Amino acid sequence: MRTPLLAALLLAIAPVVAVASPCQQGSVFEDRNGNGRRDAGERGLAGIRVSDGTQVVVTDREGRFQLPGEAAMVTVVKPAGYRAAARADGLPDIWRQAGQADTDAAGACRAFALVPEPRAPQTLKALVMADSQTASQLDVDYFRRDIIEPLRGRHGAQLGMTLGDITNDDPSLYPALVAATTSLGVPWLHVPGNHDMDVDATSDADSLRSYHRHLGPDTYAWEERQMVFIGLDDVIARPGTKPAYVAGLREEQFTFLEQYLGGLDDSRLVVIGVHMPLFDPSFRPADRQRLFDLLARFPKRLVLSAHTHQQQHVFHDVAAGWKGEGRLHEYNVGAACGAFWSGVKDAQGIPDTTMSDGTPNGHGLLTVQADGRYMLEYRVARGEASEQMRLHAPRVLRRGAYPAWGVYANVFMGHEDTEVEFRVDGGPWTPMKKVLRPDPWLLAQNVADDTSAVLRGYDRSPEASPSSHLWRGALPTTLEVGEHVVEVRARLDSGQAGAQTRYALQHAGP
């Protein structure tokens, strides 16, 4: 059929309007048999929170909800004591999106299914990953072999999350990344990063089309018995400008936080997951202060962030604008891709990819007790749990020389309150001094890259930058000629860790 000219012109100039989700009203039910469908006898669940990313409503006695306006995405807050049904790709089925197959045969919103989980463990373990940042299928293969495969069948976690920069400006890789993470057999959550924005976006509002289609909501909550996790997109896109983004939160996100946190028991541990660190220079100060003020009434809280491709702990205090009890702990998680999959490849063909602060690539592990007390650990990719530091010392020193050379300990989870000590040949333990300087192990890699006539890897190791978790102890030179054993121990929040290295003393030659 030929379209009349006037109608064609009207269509051409009509503004593009976001399609609203059919799920402004819907229902949540108890999926007793776990098949994802509402069968006869399966009841609606009352008191379940549902959100469109701004407003938060609660289901009635029949499990029904009604949101006040139109939205492109609707999300259920998974409550403690239940698990979410799985979508076809293995991700938790907690969202409904406009334009996707989220309606039933009658055109109504497909109901949210929650499966009873009465025997959940008292202690929650969550895998915390940052910046898988894959730019190709080869990078996805690195991620799968380096990070995911060593965890299969041995991680002991009940939840997983990736804190942004899931891919590196290539959303076509999302399905392969989802297949990798969901193969671990736990619900997997995401928050978007600056490299998850669509490169052809024209505004902040349309910057996450691909992310939403593949990974779901960018503002949501997920409840466990031990904690509440809140995922927030804190990247404000500014297409066509420099910088192309800043860090902060949107007004509708503050409305969501005010409504959700306002109905939350303040005895709960609240964990905020974002991509951009709250300490990033681009984070809008007023937004950070508003978030601080919303969290201040919760004695137990934690912020998890990513983006820096370093690992560090930041404790926000009164000087930073924090007004709550104690200090607000932010754990900036080391990247799964490390230094963007750079460095020399090993025998398995996987790059070393140590980050610029000397931290090997890997992932975090969050353990939360029933009362909300938490513990954070780091796991080096393909490493043992005991691998918590890297030591660097000279191989040989002159006996009798001035003791101007030291052993360095890069304690990956170290922070300003960490105690680190060393001893030589079983002697007395001596405190090491925390120093803000580049890791000498990585500096040696930089020199090797500089002096090599050919590339040692696809990309060089990153230039070493000052590390926030480096300690130094001066090595004695008055011992006997020969080899000496250096031991280092650190009292981490998760317990004591140790490592050892060796150096030798020699007589000077003529």
Last-in-domain residue among 56, 90, 118: 118
Amino acid, res. 61:
R
Provide the pLDDT confidence category of residue 71 given band limits of 50, 70 and 90: confident
pLDDT at position 20, please?
61
pLDDT at position 26, please?
93
C-alpha–C-alpha distance, residues 259 and 270, integer Å: 15
Provide the pLDDT confidence category of residue 385 given band limits of 50, 70 and 90: very high
What does pTM read for this prediction? 0.94
Of residues 261, 288, 286, 263, the one with CA closest to residue 274: 288
Cβ atoms 336, 143 nearer than 8 A: yes
Amino acid, res. 193:
G
Structural domain contains residue 86: yes
Of residues 260, 230, 227, 225, the one with CA closest to residue 51: 260
C-alpha–C-alpha distance, residues 234 and 218, integer Å: 9
Residue with tokens 């029933």: 370
Q: Is the pLDDT of residue 1 over 80?
A: no
- Residue 211 has φ and ψ, to the nearest 5°, of -60, -50
Cβ atoms 272, 240 nearer than 8 A: no
pLDDT at position 5, please?
36
User: How many C-beta neighbours within 10 Å does residue 6 have?
Assistant: 8
Numbers of helices and strands, H then E, in the chain: 7, 30
pLDDT at position 105, please?
67
pLDDT at position 109, please?
86
C-alpha–C-alpha distance, residues 292 and 328, integer Å: 9
Together in a domain, 213 and 180? yes
pLDDT at position 23, please?
85
Together in a domain, 237 and 305? yes
C-alpha–C-alpha distance, residues 212 and 427, integer Å: 58
Structural domain contains residue 5: no
Return the bridge partners of 380, or none. 362
Together in a domain, 445 and 395? yes
Radius of gyration of the chain (CA): 26
Q: Is the pLDDT of residue 112 over 70?
A: yes
Domain that holds residue 46: 17-118
Instruction: Report CA 477 to chain centroid distance, whole Å.
Output: 44
Together in a domain, 267 and 343? yes
pLDDT at position 19, please?
54
pLDDT at position 18, please?
47
List the single range of 21-30, 211-220, 224-233 with lowest mean pLDDT.
Answer: 21-30
- Count the domains in the chain: 3
Cβ atoms 65, 27 nearer than 8 A: yes
Together in a domain, 173 and 41? no
Q: Is the pLDDT of residue 346 over 80?
A: yes
Mean pLDDT of 127-155: 97
